Amino acid sequence: MQKWEVAEGNLASPRGFRGAAAAAGIKKTHGELDLALLVCDAPAATAAGVFTTNLVAAAPVLVSRQNLVESRGRCRAILVNAGNANACTGRQGLHTARESARAVARLLSLPPAQVLVASTGVIGVPLDLGLVTTPLPGLVGKLSIENASAVARAIMTTDTFPKSCVLRSEVGGKFVHLAGIAKGSGMIHPHLATLLSFLTTDALIGPRTLHNLLRAAADASFNRVTVDGDTSTNDTVLAWASGAAAAGVRPGNASWAWFLEGLTQLCQSLAKMIARDGEGAKKLIVVEVQGARKHSDAERVARAVANSPLVKTAVAGSDANWGRILCAAGYSGAVFDPNKVDIHVNGLLLCRDGVDAGFDEAAARQELDGKEVVLRLDLHQGSASARIWTCDLTHGYITINASYRT
C-alpha cells in the first residue's frame, strides 16, 4: 500500500459511481444548479453518516438517519438539494423528504430505504415536492461519471467556490480512490456545521467499519472547523463505498490505518476549504495550541480563540492584537499560567511569558496580510496540543446574513 496522493477527478472517480445535477428552481437565482443525484451501481455498496447534533434536526436528516438504519448501511442513491433546508417544516417537511426518496427509488427500482436525502439553504420555508420530483427523470437520464462534476456546484449556497478533492493510492498495481465534496459556509461549528459532505471510495468496506472510520476522520477534520459558532439543523457527512476496487478494509489490519489516513486527509482538505470559504472570509486561520497540561485544555483554548469574534475581526484588519488571543484563552476554562504563555503569528513571536514580546508592527502586519494565518499558543504547562481551523470575521459576513432569507 502506497501513500495517498492527490489526483484529478470527481466524486465518480472511485469506480461504481455516477452523478448529475440540474437547475430545479429551488434557489432564488433562476437557472442555478440546485438539485443533484448520485448513484452507486454496485448492489452491495455500503454507506455511513454522521449528522447534526442539533435537537432541531431537518427532515432530510431524520429520513436519512432512519434509512441508514433500515437498510443496514446499504445505499444506492443520494438526492441532495440546495436553496431550501427543509428544516423547521414539521410533518409536511418529513412528507416531502420521504416522497423525494421514494420518487428516486421508483425511478431506479430500489427499496426506498436505500435512498438517502440531504438539503441545505433557508430554514422554515416549505420545500415544494414538485420542484424536486419533476426534474428527477431527466436527472436519472443524465447520470454519468463526467456529469458527477456538477454535483459539487449544485450543493453550494453562500459558498464562493465548489469544494472537491480526489485522492488515490496504489494497492497491488491498481489504484484505490477516495473522493469528496463539501459545502459550507455559515452556521459552521463543530459537531457539526451547515456542512454537507459526500465522500466516495471504491474500497471494499463493511457498513460498521465504514461508520467507525468516518467518525474518526470527521473528528479530526469537520469537527475542528468553526466559522460562527452556530450549529446547523442540516449537517450531514455521508461516506459511501462501492467495493469495486476490491481493496478490503478491515479493523485490526494494516488496511485500517492506510484507509483512515486517506479518509482523514480527504476530510481535512475539505474542512480547510470550508474554513477558508466561511461567509465573508478573506483568510484561513489555523489556531494551534501546544504545551497544554492535557488534551482537553488544549482543545478548550483552541476553540475559544477560534470562536472569538474579537480575535477574528482583528485578523481581518491585520491587527496583531495578541491580547485578545490571550484573553480568549483566559476565559476558555482551561487551566494554565497566563504568565508563561507565548503567542506566535506564523513564525513571528508577539507575546512572551504573557506580555508584549516587543515585535515589529510592520512585520506582524505582513504576516497577518497573508491568505493563511497560523496563530500558535504555547502554554508551557505540558505536552498536549490541539488544532482548529476558522476564518476571519468581515463585513461580508454581516452583509450575507442580514438579509439571507428575504
d(CA 146, CA 235): 27
Q: Is the peptide bond before 164 cis (omega within 30 degrees of 0)?
A: no
**Spatial contact of 15 and 206, defined as CB atoms under 8 Å apart:** no
Residue 231 sits in the site that holds its own copies (CB under 8 A): yes
Residue 194 falls in the annotated catalytic set: yes
Phi, psi for 324 (deg, rounded to 5)? -70, -35
- Could you tell me if residue 371 is left (phi over 0), alpha (psi between -120 and 50 degrees) or otherwise beta? alpha
Residue 138 parent element (H or E): helix 136-142
Beta carbons within 8 Å of 55's beta carbon, 6+ residues apart: none
| Closest to its own copies by CB, 23 or 88 | 88
In the complex, least distance from residue 85 CB atom to its own copies, rounded to whole angstroms: 8
Query: Going residue by residue from 161 to 200, which x/- string records binding to its own copies, judged by CB under 8 A?
Result: -------------------------xx-x-----------
Of 222, 259, 322, 389, the one binding its own copies (CB under 8 A) is 322
Query: Annotated catalytic residue: which of 194, 209, 236, 390?
Result: 194
**Spatial contact of 12 and 202, defined as CB atoms under 8 Å apart:** no
Beta carbons within 8 Å of 369's beta carbon, 6+ residues apart: 318
Residue 292 sits in the site that holds its own copies (CB under 8 A): no
| Closest to its own copies by CB, 29 or 362 | 362
| Closest to its own copies by CB, 85 or 101 | 85
Q: Which of residues 27-56 bind its own copies (CB under 8 A)?
A: 53-56
d(CA 368, CA 52): 33
| Set of cell numbers at residue 4 | 495517498
Residue 381 sits in the site that holds its own copies (CB under 8 A): no
| Closest to its own copies by CB, 219 or 319 | 319
Residue 336 sits in the site that holds its own copies (CB under 8 A): yes
CA 280 from chain centre, in angstroms, equals 17
Residues that bind its own copies in the complex, under the rule CB under 8 A = 53-57, 85, 87-90, 92-93, 122-126, 186-187, 189, 228-233, 307-310, 313-314, 316-317, 319-324, 326-331, 334-336, 338-339, 351, 353-356, 361, 393-395, 397-399, 401-406
Where in the sequence numbering do the catalytic residues fall?
Answer: 194
